[in-house]
Chain A
Amino acid sequence: MSMLRAIWTYRGFIRGSVQREFQVKYRNSLLGAAWNIINPLAMIVVYTVIFAQVMRAKLPGVDSTFAYSIYLCAGVLTWGLFAEMVGRCQTMFLDNANLLKKISFPRITLPIIVVANAGLNFVIVFGLFLAFLVVSGNFPGWVVLAVLPVLVLQIALAMGLGMVLGVLNVFFRDVGHFFGIFIQFWFWLTPIVYPANILPERIMPLMALNPMASLVAAYQGIWVNQQWPQWASLLPTALLAASLCLLGLHLFKKNVGEMVDEL
């Protein structure tokens, strides 16, 4: 409760930090804020035009020019959000060591800033993706609303994991190095670039252990097949996300004081 009040009191700081981080990224460039659009736009173009038109990659079972591109974007863009949030959360205390050591402010604002920033970047790239869908005539219709609860679940998972890793990383820097490697394996072990049904039968049960697999599958279902997600398949991920959030919050509360001594 006191945490929520602190966040509200420091909303100016949170908003300011998000704004500053957004500005600082392309600070010394000539085009400035335009890069915030150009970069994700280039990414979408690569995934759509190049894959669909140049390489003519096809998704097995779906007969549409852009099916594979949409499939790819559904996974890559949301994975990007997940990876950015976890990665940034994991280093947020180390990155802000200077501030943490010098100034007393509610530390809980840091993960909020990370989430807000990653969310902002995602909104831009996602907006471009939506625009592409509308233009290319692939907009899935009302089912698009199903993205919101899945996104909320994904953010909760990323936050929980990020908090746990972020706190641990202060005390054991190995966590950061390890996770950098781990997330690459995780990406390729999740059906993002390839369809899940090309996997050998005996690996399928293992996929159930990958919390990102069910999330990404839900996105792909929405965008490619205009299907509502199978909510039951997301239940284990939701439970995991909830417990990670609780664990993260517990670790944070327990170690927030000692953290400054280690930075």
Chain B
Amino acid sequence: MGTITVSNLGKAYKQYPNRWSRLIEWITPGNNKRHQLKWVLQDINFTVNAGEAVGIIGINGAGKSTLLKLITGTTQPTTGTVHMTGRVAAMLELGMGFHPDFTGRQNAFMAGQLLGITSGEIARLMPNIEAFAEIGDYIDQPVRVYSSGMQMRLAFSVATAIRPDVLIVDEALSVGDAYFQHKSFECIRDFRKQGTTLLMVSHDKQAIQSICDRAILLSDGQLAMEGEPEAVMDYYNAMLANHQNQKIKQEVKDDGKVQIVSGTGEATIQSISLLSTDRRRVLDVAVGQSVTIRVEVRVNTDLNRLILGYGIRDRLGQVVFGTNTNLTKQALESVSTGTNLCYEINFCANLGPGTYSIQLALSSTETHLVNNYEWRNIALVFNVVNINKPSFEGVAWIPPSIEINKI
């Protein structure tokens, strides 16, 4: 129960040169094609196993929503098939077709009926729906007076009133406030533990990385990449920056991690290393040890401004700490061609035990989305081990002093 198999899926819209050509095509006998097909999705193949969580990412217009609509059956595919098992609940768009003149309660009934739940069962579930949505007296007010967040709360509560085998969620969730987002993700996590398969579209990196086992990147209606959320997200970020004539390169490193390098190449990273205080290269670092990240940069064109940014990320790809030379007021102005630079970043590895990676960015401004000279996501991977500290939890080493007094 709860699998999704998408094979060879494609969607094309018919485009007619003018309004009359469709009529001519309809009434003339035989195979007289007068339309052109505009493909918005092509050759999509993937499988989601029972209990798996898969995130779909891609820029606006990449075909994400169309893909979800095809999967849920709202629109019919032009080629290929979608096969699903188990009960499906989908939240494709805000409000699930709520009728503005009816109360939240009536709309909840209608939405439930549209999911194929009987009225009796909805009546039984209604207290839970009300409790989860937490919209108070508004449940008996017409939906037209609802805020978009309230509509989303109600829609989510109805869609998840019964645990589905497959839950499909569009970006709708991002409308909710932090509290409800937290609550809905908690609910999704809970469902996952009980075996619900999840397919979600999101631009929220944190959401994808913390919930999904796998991510799928759509680009121009094609499946551009499929794999670990972190790697796919990084590739996506590189793609976002790819509006200048940048190159994106993927390399699989020895440890199986995927390194992505993108950028226009006005400045390039020649080498990166992690050094201990005695200038030895290290890959294992003790909690609290002083270390140096050494980055060598070559400038290939005269640049007005050059900034190096870096970030230390945990194994889920969350940035633990990041800054850049603009924030430290060390941006370089007027750098000429052929300059070789060496940055040394000294810090104490006050990190919890685990694997961390370093990402680097060379640009002219704070974000790597404009004038991205070079960006690489997993420039270096290192381990932090606890050698001489009492054991603790978490990603940060924040040594406390605890006082206990009797009062």
A contact set with B: CB distance below 8 Å: 9-10, 12-13, 15-17, 20, 24, 27, 98-105, 171-172, 256-258, 260-261
- Tell me whether B14 is interfacial, beta carbon within 8 Å: yes
Q: Is the CB of A12 within 8 A of B117?
A: yes
Would you call A105 and B14 a contact (CB within 8 A)? no
Indicate which residue in B19, B90, B93, B110 contacts A17 across the interface (CB closer than 8 Å).
Answer: B110
Query: Are A103 and B92 in touch, CB under 8 angstroms?
Result: yes
Q: Which residue of A lies closest to B102 (CB)?
A: A20
Chain A facing B: main interface SS: helix
Given A257-B76, A258-B14: A13 in contact with B110 (beta carbons within 8 A): yes
Across-interface contacts of A105 in B (CB, < 8 A)? 114
Residues on A with C-beta less than 8 A from B74 are 100-104, 260
- Indicate whether A98 sits within 8 Å of B73 (C-beta atoms), given known contacts A12-B119, A13-B114, A16-B110: no
> 24 interchain pairs (CB within 8 A)?
A12-B116, A12-B117, A12-B118, A13-B110, A13-B116, A15-B119, A16-B109, A16-B110, A16-B113, A20-B99, A24-B99, A99-B114, A101-B74, A102-B74, A102-B96, A103-B74, A103-B90, A103-B96, A103-B114, A104-B72, A104-B74, A104-B90, A171-B22, A172-B22
CA distance A20 to B13 in the complex (A): 34
Residue of A nearest to B26 (CB): A171
Check if A24 sits within 8 Å of B101, measured CB to CB: yes
Do residues A20 and B106 form an inter-chain contact, with CB atoms below 8 A?
Answer: yes
- The size class of the interface chain B forms with chain A is 20 to 34
Distance in Å from the Cβ of A258 to the closest Cβ of chain B? 7
B101 partner, pick from A13, A27, A171, beta carbons under 8 A = A27
Contacts of A256 in B (CB 8 A): 76
The answer to whether B75 and A260 touch across the interface, beta carbons within 8 angstroms, is yes
- For B92, the chain A residues whose CB sits under 8 A away are 102-103
Residue B23 at the chain A interface, CB threshold 8 Å: yes
Specify which chain A residues have a CB less than 8 angstroms from the CB of B99 in the assembled complex. 20, 24
CB distance from B303 to the nearest CB of A (A): 49
Q: How far, in angstroms, from A256 to B76 measured CA to CA in the complex?
A: 9
Cα distance A194–B121 when bound, in Å? 53
Q: Is the CB of A16 within 8 A of B119?
A: yes
Across the interface, A102 reaches (CB within 8 A) one of B14, B76, B93, B118, namely: B93
